[in-house]
A = this chain, B = another copy of it.
Amino acid sequence: MTKLTDVARVAGVSATTVSRVINNYGSLSEKTKQKVYAAMRELNYQPNSLARSLQGKQTKLIGVIFSGVSNPFFGEMVEELENQLFSKGYRVILCNAADDKAKERDYLRMLMANQVDGIIAGAHNLGIEEYHQVGLPIISFDRYLSDNIPIVSSDNYRGGQAAGEALLAARVQHPVIITGQQQPNSPTNQRLSGYQAVLSAKDVALDQWTLAFGMSPTLKMMRIRQLLTTHQPDGIFCTDDLTALLVLQAAKQLNIAVPQALKVIGYDGTRFIQAYHPELTTIMQPITDIVTLMVELLLQRIADPDCQLETSYTLPIKVITGTSTAAIS
C-alpha cells in the first residue's frame, strides 16, 4: 500500500508538505500543490482513512439501522439514504436489526467501536435507555427514542384521516382497519387515531384487526381470508401496502370484486407500488423528503453536537388514488 511518505518521495517534498496539501493547511504554492497532486495520481494514492480517523478526523461513516431492506419501503428509504449520504461524502454501514433486540444492541456497540460519525435509526426493537447512552449524533425515523434525538416522520395522523375519509367517501358501511402491533412511542400509532377520529365523527363503528409486522405473508394471508369470509367488510384500510396486496389477492381468490364489493386502501406509496400496483389507492409517505431532512439534521448534529433541534419533524403525506377505492357508477 502506497503511503504518504511515498508520495513525498516521488513529489520531491517533505511528508509534512504532502499532508498540508491533502488537508489544505498552512500556506502552499500552486507549484508544489500540483507536484503533489501529480505524485498522488501517479501512485494512485489514497490516504489511509483509519490513520486519519485515529488522528481525529471524521470517519465519514454513518450507521443506518433498519429492520431489513427486502421490504420495498425500507429498501427505497435505504437506497435514498445511501444516495444522499454518498453525495455528501459519507458512506453507509448497513445494519439490519431484523426485529432482534440483541442484534440491534450488538450493532450499536459496533458502531461506537467503529467510531461512526452518526446514526440513522429506523429499527425499533430497543428501548430508550440503550440509545440514550450512545453519545453519538442520532436521528430517528418514526420512533421516539429520547428527548435529545429528533424524530422524523410523515403525518401519520393525517394519513389515517385521509384513509378513513377515502373509505367513507366511497360509501363504505363496514370498514376494517388492519394494523401492525401497536408499538410504544411510535408515531405510526397515529394512523389508527386519525382513522378512528374520522369514523367516529360519522358514527361508523371501529373494527380493528392486528397482524404482527413480522408475521409471514402466508400466515397473514390465512388470517385475511378468514377476516374476509367471516366479517364480510366492504372496505379495508391496511397500514402498509404489502398487507393491502395480500387483501387484493385474497379478494380475488374469494371472488370478491374490488372495488365493487370491497374497497381497499394501503399505506406507504413507494415507487414500487406506484409502478407495479397503480390500481391500489394508498397514502404516500414522502421518502425523498424524509431522507433529505434526516440527512440534513444528522449533518447539523455532526457539525455541532450541541445544536438545538426540534424533538419532532412531521412531513405531509399525499393520497394516491387508484381504482381500488373507485366509486361504482
Contacts and interface: CB of A to CB of B under 8 A. Distances in A.
Contacts of A272: 70, 72
Nearest to A82: B96
Contacts of A50: 50, 53-54, 59, 114-115
Question: What interface size band does chain A fall in?
Answer: 35 or more
Contacts of A48: 54, 113, 115
A95 B82 CA distance: 8
Nearest to A272: B70
A69 B59 contact: no
A94 B75 contact: no
A34 interface: no
Contact of A217 (B70, B71, B91, B276): B276
Contact of A82 (B47, B51, B94, B217): B94
A114 B60 CA distance: 10
A49 interface: yes
A1 B99 CA distance: 29
A162 interface: no
Given A70-B76, A70-B79, A216-B275, 17 more contacts: A44-B133, A46-B113, A50-B54, A50-B59, A54-B54, A61-B93, A64-B94, A70-B270, A72-B72, A72-B272, A78-B94, A82-B94, A83-B96, A91-B93, A91-B110, A92-B93, A92-B94
